[in-house]
Chain A
């Protein structure tokens, strides 16, 4: 087969590609060089931009963003509890609403755990742990339905744990005795009385022995104690001795209204004996 003349150099004449060179055809090499030059001159900024964009996009799409966000902006929330019923007696069901009030950023999702004295109350609903979604605005996070089983103060502790915060709220609920229909009369004050003690509500359980007053009291904040003193036809003079050691001197008028009796006056805390606060008891007759 005849050889045709070409301008190709013999294989041995061709220069051996050095490092950085390819064995591509020259036009390809030229194209590659042009592209390389272009990239070197113009496109690396774009690539860097792309990579950065991808990184940023990845950051925002990944859980790291959330973590970093909460490192910068701390999650805070206020827990509030509201007991729907005004008075709770033994065997009553009552609802306790837990409200979460975010203080700044959205409160992340979490769980609510409820601790309570099982000898006083039982949790009827929900049964188990309450899970919450992220909370951006004030929201009732849980409605807890309890049933009272025994008389006395019951402390309900609510632990609200989110990914970025732990919150605790404690609420004392006073479980009253069932009304035994021992209604006080003007001749004998024995019985159960509603009590307004300064800013607190509560109950007096008075035992009246010919004018000598005994019994006990309970306040909604869990303060309980004994009553000791005397009464006259128009006066009620007792000491309230708290189980915590505090002592209050009560000085009241005994007012007869049409359908109830009032104990109206002041009480003095033994720690601040010159400061009086209002004392008001009332009972149906």
Chain B
């Protein structure tokens, strides 16, 4: 048998049920609720969810910066005398108060019907500028750096990931869980995700890399705690046209992957390349773009090892 004081309700002297909670207890409950609500709604960052891990860059912050930069307009440079309509779009942050002061974002659209790619297995240590200049041929529109490399035996350097040049694989496929490759299988360059790499046949040219920066038109990277670096990316738009893009800064610290991802996915009406798929290539001091017709080098030009490079040329 329950006593009268137990349970949610108890009887009063007249025998009616009354709430088991007293008036003073009710006041405390209301007060606690009000205090809790005030704390949740307060501007203190740790309560309102504004505090992020140190060093991480959010998509929102990068989007704000990107929108501002793209809104300022680009400098458009013809990169092929035979095709003056083909222009390299360069956005440079001239705002001295900006944390990205001096950063250059650029992109170039190459029509898939006219452009072919060729992978060069370089494996040379020298000044980057001279390596890329020596690689370039008359029909080349742009020469880009390729994939990653690491340490080989006896302190040598070796490419990491699949590299196929002129139908011959010079480096085996890496078993990565993400990323993909830029390939040319039927005479047309395109981007394939990692999951599709094993099912490909008759690939003439390929460079495997990671991560995918844009997938299905959406930015593929939402947060990145890694530092900003110079970066190069290749992609395709909805029509299959090839996009070559990069981000460069004099001291090598241009953007992180969130910012590059957002830039690649930015719509054309905003000034972005509007990639449908985009793959990150090697970055840091290894990020390099060379436009032979106008002798323009973007990226670090000093001493380096270049494992491979991708030439995009008129067919």
Contact = CB atoms under 8 A, between A and B. Distances in A.
A228 interface: yes
A265 B229 CA distance: 21
Interface stretch (B59-67, B74-82, B150-158, B258-266): B150-158
Given A211-B284, A230-B284, A253-B125, A235 B305 contact: yes
A176 interface: no
B300 interface: yes
A106 to B, nearest CB: 54
Contacts of A232: 282, 284-286, 304
A210 B157 contact: no
A205 interface: no
A262 to B, nearest CB: 10
A252 B303 contact: yes
B284 A235 contact: yes
Contacts of B300: 235, 237, 251
Contacts of B226: 210
Interface in A154-186: 186
A256 B151 contact: yes
A229 interface: yes
Contacts of B157: 233-234
A234 B306 CA distance: 9
A257 interface: yes
Interface in B265-289: 282, 284-286
Nearest to B306: A234
B227 A235 contact: no
Given A209-B227, A234-B125, A229 B303 contact: no
Interface string B143-169: 000001111000101000000000000
Contacts of B151: 186, 233, 256
Contacts of B301: 251
Interface string B225-238: 01111100000000
Contact of A251 (B227, B229, B302): B302
Interface string B217-231: 000000000111110
A238 interface: yes
A251 to B, nearest CB: 2
A211 B251 contact: no
A259 B293 CA distance: 44
Interface residues of A, number: 27
* Size bracket, chain B contacts: 20 to 34
Contact of B251 (A210, A230, A236, A264): A230
B193 interface: no
B253 interface: yes
Interface centre among B228, B252, B282 (most CB of A within 10 A): B252
Nearest to B228: A212
B303 to A, nearest CB: 4
Contacts of B227: 209-212, 230
A142 to B, nearest CB: 46
Contact of B155 (A211, A238, A256): A256
Contacts of A264: 303
Interface in A222-258: 228-239, 251-253, 255-258
Given A212-B253, A251-B300, A253-B305, A236 B155 contact: no
Top 10 closest A-B pairs, CB basis?
A: A251-B302, A230-B252, A212-B227, A235-B285, A234-B305, A256-B155, A235-B304, A253-B303, A232-B285, A232-B284
Given A233-B149, A237-B300, A251-B303, 13 more contacts: A210-B226, A212-B229, A230-B252, A232-B285, A232-B304, A234-B125, A235-B285, A235-B304, A237-B252, A237-B284, A256-B155, A257-B155, A266-B303
22 contacts: A229-B253, A230-B227, A230-B251, A230-B253, A233-B148, A233-B150, A233-B151, A233-B305, A234-B286, A234-B304, A235-B128, A235-B286, A235-B302, A252-B303, A253-B125, A253-B303, A253-B305, A255-B155, A256-B151, A265-B303, A266-B302, A266-B303
